[in-house]
Amino acid sequence: MKKRILFVCIENSCRSQIAEGFARSFGGHVLEAYSAGSRPSGKINPYATKVMWEEKVDIFSQKSKGFGDLPVKNFDYVISLGCKDKCPFVPAKKHIEWDIPDPKGKGIEFFRTVRDTIKEKVLKLIFEAAEADKRKTGDK
């Protein structure tokens, strides 16, 4: 059974969109990924789509949304990407804080650095979810 994961940030336009894109692209076999923001901007930052396209991950069809727009309400993981107390509490089995700087208003190189940091963390999360799944099913 896939783990449901929610990535949250304030505007749901950069960091959480990048994390959702990586989780869907690389971890779709073990994760069901979503993202939302406490004050969604209504659009994805063009630099976010550009730096993800450089990684061959398409986030063009993703939408900036709030918590009320999510199709599910129960999550195994809620990962905050730096919004701390600005994001409402969303019930989950596990809450994780990734203190990732907001790239909004910064240059493309800063976006690349943020993207690479998020990619590393998402890949580690995918690995951990896959290992937990193996332990549960008894696979080697």
State the catalytic residue, choosing from 8, 48, 87, 129: 87
Question: Catalytic: 14?
Answer: no
Count of CB atoms situated within 10 Å of the CB of 135? 9
- Label residues 25-47 b or e (16+ Cβ within 10 Å = b): bbbeebbbbbbbbbebeeebbeb
CA dist., res. 107 & res. 129, Å (int): 33
Closest by CA position to 35, among listed 2, 59, 1: 59
Contact 79, 6 (CB under 8 A): yes
State the catalytic residue, choosing from 19, 23, 59, 83: 83
State the catalytic residue, choosing from 9, 31, 48, 57: 9
Which amino acids are annotated catalytic? 9, 83, 87
